[in-house]
């Protein structure tokens, strides 16, 4: 695969980068020679492995720990990334979680607040913190992670997760319009059914089999198969005229 050359030495922050899609994206950016701030919550060992792979590939990596659901954590993580890397060219808002599946009637106020604090507020806060830094340097790239669930409503018991990812998709379009005059492009990637630790933890085998039966490619995707969409959106060489878009990576499960 021919990698975009303009990502070399770009300063990137990837949230939730110790495993799954975030780890695959961080490694892909590192393979392009980017400098990558790897955010993690509890997976220090996994994050260290991602950093090691990035440095072997010729990139540079720093580790940043924090729970994005805690108020103040995301502002700190963005500031630390910019301080460690010297700038912030690319922000990947990947961190998020389905957490658990609950029917609406069994969903407590506390769980509602936790889902919002995990999937919505961190994306908004990270963008709010990154925009002044990008404006100061004349531009930048933001890629948010939505989900196929934002279009389908998700599987059983995931109404809040699906709705939170729909917020991300809509916020992406709104922010792209707002920031276009600042030369800041804002796009999203919507993964489908992907083999990740979150999928393993939250999707019962029978529900996964039912989902696979609806996928034209007849299989679950891998985190690495999502990474190319992120590289495309991050690269000015490849996507300079692309903003406000949502790339679906779902094996044909949904064809908008």
Which is nearest to 136 in space by CA: 184, 100, 176, 96?
Answer: 184
pLDDT digits (tens, 9 = 90+) for 136-186: 999 999 999 999 999 999 999 999 999 999 999 999 999 999 999 999 999
Catalytic annotation, residues:
161
Q: Cα–Cα distance between 143 and 155 in angstroms, integer? A: 24
Most distant CA atoms of the chain, gap in Å: 51
Kindly provide the residue ranges of all beta strands, DSSP E only, lying in 115-245, ordered along the sequence. 140-145, 184-191
Query: Options 3.40.50.720, 3.50.50.60, 3.90.420.10, 3.40.50.300; which CATH number does 7-248 get?
Result: 3.40.50.720
pTM assigned to the model: 0.96
**Per-residue pLDDT at 203:** 84
Query: Between 127 and 208, where is the model more confident?
Result: 127
Residue range 230-251: average pLDDT? 98
Q: Where are the domains of the chain?
A: 7-248
């Amino acid at each position: 695969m021919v990698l975009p050359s303009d990502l070399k030495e770009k300063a990137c922050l990837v949230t939730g980068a110790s495993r799954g899609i975030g780890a695959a994206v961080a490694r892909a950016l590192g393979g392009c020679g980017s400098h990558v701030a790897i955010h993690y919550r509890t997976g220090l060992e996994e994050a260290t492995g991602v950093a090691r792979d990035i440095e072997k590939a010729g990139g540079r990596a720093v580790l940043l720990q924090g729970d994005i659901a805690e108020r103040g954590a995301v502002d700190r993580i963005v500031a630390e990334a910019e301080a460690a890397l010297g700038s912030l060219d690319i922000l990947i808002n990947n961190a998020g979680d389905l957490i658990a599946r609950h029917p609406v009637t069994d969903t407590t106020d506390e769980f509602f607040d936790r889902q919002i604090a995990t999937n919505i507020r961190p994306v908004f806060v990270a963008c709010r913190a990154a925009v002044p830094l990008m404006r100061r340097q004349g531009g930048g790239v933001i890629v948010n992670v939505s989900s196929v669930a934002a279009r389908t409503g998700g599987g059983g018991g995931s109404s809040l997760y699906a709705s939170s990812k729909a917020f991300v998709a809509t916020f992406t379009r709104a922010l792209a319009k707002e920031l276009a005059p600042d030369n800041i492009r804002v796009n999203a990637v919507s993964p489908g059914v992907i083999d990740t630790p979150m999928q393993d933890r939250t999707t019962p085998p029978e529900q996964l089999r039912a989902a696979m039966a609806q996928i034209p490619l007849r299989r679950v995707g891998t985190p690495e198969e999502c990474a190319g969409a992120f590289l495309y959106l991050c690269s000015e060489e490849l996507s300079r005229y692309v903003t406000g878009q949502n790339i679906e990576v779902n094996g044909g499960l949904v064809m908008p």
